[in-house]
A and B are shown apart, each in its own frame.
Chain A
């Protein structure tokens, strides 16, 4: 009984979200998002989990808005900011680091407001990690040491199939999001998933 009610409610929630989303972004709904887009959406979600919730010390004073809406705090590039955020955003925008040579140019654009300018020379080393790792992978390929790299060390997928666990709250989850394939357990979690994860990262 509980199950059936939950199922009905979830179905309703899904209908609701469809309606709402159609207004926002009809394309997202019409096309069944393909597998690579799903993966990308998930990856962005995971990247967001790695973000700091901060602005840079002494640097982005002007951009520091203590009172801005809190949902935006998280995973919002503008706020993820920090010192590296600027360049991170850039590297995301053109997702392939095509201009890997621009090692220090991305940082130069930041106005230096530091009192001791001599210090900031070290910041020429502030390069987005993806660029550095790409360089490193190239070097390993040349030296024939690709077995000893960051890329190679990444854990392989589990030998077990993924469990049916709600990606929002961790309870058993009978439902699957049609857009991204994530699981959710209830209406409440379905809505949370839609609003803060799914759509946010699939557009």
Chain B
């Protein structure tokens, strides 16, 4: 769901857990195409406090098998020299690292690879430690309209390969509606993640499926576009996905007025336009910089550079890359940007209602737009979303756009609150191994349909 913002950086020290609690714990796994976010609660009966604690200790790892250019000491030898998750923390060289990802356009399509990644996560991350025989329950997420085929595959993976006793899959884009920061009973979630961006209206805990709208543009495409631009203009970084992704996250921002800003830039003499001050220091394994992904150069404090250091100066791509989310037609994608996406979803919700009711519903939804996903972390994102939406929304309607406190963990946190509420109400949530054995994967499909 989210790009790998921070996923390569160190994460808080994991806390080992006693094995007694393992046998009753629930593992929550938000299976984003970019990063997996994973945490554990001690039992079926957990409090808001437990949720806060679990989210605080959540593990965030790339949903990928990573292949470094050179072997990393301390990582077990595997076929293809791959490494997973937290092993990246000891890696000091991300240049030319390649990533094999199980997802294709947001949906899992490589199940062997996903199994490897999940197995490694469950066996090696202490914060979610679900080793050995006491694998109790797992709650995963998948995107909207996850095909039955993928549910079938995942149920087999969870029950037969990983040995869990209970399992449920929730819709990741709907879950932020249940997070603590979302109080009202109607909202639109705008989840702009790694593979795509969704606008999902949720009313009284139910997703309005026919009104869900999806823009096929996410953080991965943005990183790839930036990779190309840098490669044509400065250095060939076509293989440096991790480094370019870090540059995107650390340097790019959303412009409040894109056309005005580039017009201003255009007026500058060409020589000034293309040789600005350096923005970014590229990592260099030989000189051993502290941050293996490089770092942003403080313009007020440009370091004295040794002659071999490679610096990168970005021009308008700083604002062009995030701009694509607001104006996908700039690269020929014939879909509306995120602001119109939210409006399309809201309009679809209210389309069949009588005028006054439609107006009331619109007011409710526009009054509570929840923004989540890694792309929302671009500075200026929320402001621009608000500015772009305002002229599209009737003037008498109050528009409110809120970004979740941690936009990348909102789905994980929401899935915990959702689970808590659902179980308190006494409705069936989990599919048990016994049910699965008796009725097959179809029982998963119909159970998951009944949720949210």
Binding site for B on A (CB under 8 A): 2, 42, 45-46, 48-59, 61, 64, 66, 70-71, 73-74, 82-84, 88, 113-115, 119-120, 122-123, 125-129, 132-133, 135-136, 139, 147-150, 152-159, 162-163, 165, 167-172, 181-182, 192, 196
Contact = CB atoms under 8 A, between A and B. Distances in A.
A83 B112 contact: yes
23 contacts: A42-B333, A46-B216, A49-B224, A50-B220, A54-B67, A55-B100, A56-B80, A57-B65, A114-B112, A122-B156, A125-B149, A126-B110, A132-B147, A133-B147, A135-B149, A150-B145, A153-B214, A158-B335, A159-B336, A162-B329, A165-B330, A192-B232, A196-B228
B337 A158 contact: yes
Contacts of B41: none
B289 interface: no
A83 B104 CA distance: 10
Contact of B104 (A61, A88, A148): A88
Interface string B243-277: 00000000000000001001101100010000000
Nearest to A2: B270
B210 interface: yes
B224 A139 contact: no
B214 A155 contact: yes
B224 A147 contact: no
Which residue, of B149, B331, B341, has the highest number of chain A Cβ atoms within 10 A? B331
A83 B100 contact: yes
B110 A84 contact: yes
Given A74-B224, A122-B161, A153-B145, 18 more contacts: A42-B332, A42-B333, A49-B224, A54-B67, A54-B98, A57-B82, A57-B116, A84-B110, A122-B115, A122-B156, A129-B105, A129-B107, A153-B213, A155-B215, A156-B344, A157-B335, A165-B327, A171-B262
A45 B332 contact: yes
B236 interface: yes
Given A49-B221, A53-B98, A171-B262, A61 B80 contact: yes
B145 A149 contact: yes
A132 B67 contact: no
A70 B231 CA distance: 10
A57 B113 contact: yes
A93 B212 CA distance: 31
Chain B interface, >50% SS class: helix
A114 B144 contact: no
Given A56-B100, A125-B149, A158-B340, A163 B329 contact: yes
Interface in B88-113: 96, 98-102, 104-105, 107, 109-113
Categorize the interface residue count of chain B. 35 or more
Interface in B109-149: 109-113, 115-116, 144-145, 147-149
B238 A53 contact: yes
Given A54-B100, A55-B100, A172-B263, A114 B320 contact: no
Q: Which 5 A-B pairs have the closest CB atoms?
A: A170-B320, A58-B79, A125-B153, A58-B80, A57-B65
Interface in B169-221: 195, 198, 209-210, 212-216, 220-221
Most A CB within 10 A of own CB, among B111, B229, B328: B111
Interface string B313-332: 00011011001000111111
B80 A57 contact: yes
Contact of A74 (B113, B228, B337): B228
Nearest to A134: B147
B52 interface: no
A168 B226 CA distance: 10
B150 interface: yes
Contacts of B111: 122-123, 125-126
